[in-house]
Amino acid sequence: MGKRQVLQRRGRGGSVFLSPSWNRVGKVKYHHTLAKESSSIAFVIKDIVHDSGRGAPVAIVKGEGITSLMIAPEGTYVGQKIFFGNEAFVDVGNVLPLAKIPEGTLICNIEGMPSDGGKFVRAAGGYATLVSHSTDSVLVQFPSGQVKSLDPKCRATVGIVASGGMTEKPMLKAGANYHKFQARSIKFPRVRGKAMSPYAHPHGGGNHPTGGRPVSRNAPPGQKVGIIASRRTGRRKK
């Protein structure tokens, strides 16, 4: 018998792979009651905090008896007044429906469906561009370059997600990388399959490092690793 791969053990679950969600500050999304407002509501940023496992900072906003958590755009600060609603003006930190945002505006924390609280472009330094409006849809270009059609009622935050320079700070120790991945429930370090023994991985063993061989698309878990359903292999003939 061989040894179960990390991917198989992760799929099975267990305490080792449990996501430490108890360390999070809370659900970071637009408050559900704000979607019903036709006018605009003023909020004040009470604090900007770090959320474990998340690169972008989180803003704690309060107003009219409502406390909400939202992704902090670049340039926002504690004490700043921001606005939610259809009549809010276009300024960094304000949350508006896509139908009310001009073309060419940089936006973030975009809803996939109206009132879902924000699903897209939430990573540090990320931003999307509103391309065009039509009667029943709005085209938005995502950081990947993909242009997606969304409902005009979907809300978004004006601006770029803060902490875009976090990748410029190097990881000086492997231990720092370890704790970063621990907060995200990612196993670290990750060992290559061909560096393992044959019982631990299909790529393991041998007197010298070799790559894997093509595996069928229908291979069972544990065997389905490496080059899966490759269209061609070997050297390309000129």
Q: Report the predicted TM-score, pTM, of the whole model to 2 decimal places.
A: 0.84
**Phi-psi sector, 136: left (phi>0), alpha (psi -120 to 50), beta:** alpha
Segment 54-105, tens digit of pLDDT: 999 999 999 888 999 999 999 999 999 999 988 889 999 999 999 999 999 9
48: CB partners within 8 A, 6+ apart: 57, 58, 59, 60, 72, 76, 77, 78
Rounded alpha-carbon distances, angstroms, from residue 123 to 40, 181, 223: 26, 16, 34
Q: Tokens 């993909």, residue? A: 146
C-alpha angle 206-210-214 in degrees, rounded to nearest 5: 115
How far is Cα 41 from Cα 184, in angstroms, rounded to an integer? Answer: 34
Question: Residue 238: pLDDT above 80?
Answer: no
pLDDT of res. 30: 93
Backbone angles phi, psi at 176, to 5 degrees: -65, -40
Pull the structure tokens for residue 215.
């595996």
How far is Cα 84 from Cα 43, in angstroms, rounded to an integer? Answer: 8
pLDDT of res. 36: 64
Q: Higher confidence at residue 212 or residue 57?
A: 57
Q: Mean of the pLDDT values across residues 225-229?
A: 91
Pull the structure tokens for residue 149.
């059609």
Per-domain residue ranges of the chain: 22-166
Beta strand segments in 51-181, E: 58-63, 66-71, 81-85, 95-97, 106-108, 128-133, 138-141, 147-150, 155-158
How far is Cα 158 from Cα 156, in angstroms, rounded to an integer? Answer: 6
Residue 201 in contact with residue 5, Cβ under 8 Å? Answer: yes
pLDDT of res. 175: 95
CATH topology for the 22-166 domain: SH3 type barrels. (2.30.30)
Segment 16-58, tens digit of pLDDT: 888 899 999 999 999 877 666 567 899 999 999 999 999 999 9
Chain length of the chain? 238
Segment 166-183, tens digit of pLDDT: 989 999 999 999 999 999
Look at residue 66 and give its three-state secondary structure.
Answer: strand
Per 3-state DSSP, the chain is made up of helix, strand and coil in percentages (nearest 5) of 15, 25, 60
47: CB partners within 8 A, 6+ apart: 59, 60, 78
pLDDT of res. 37: 57
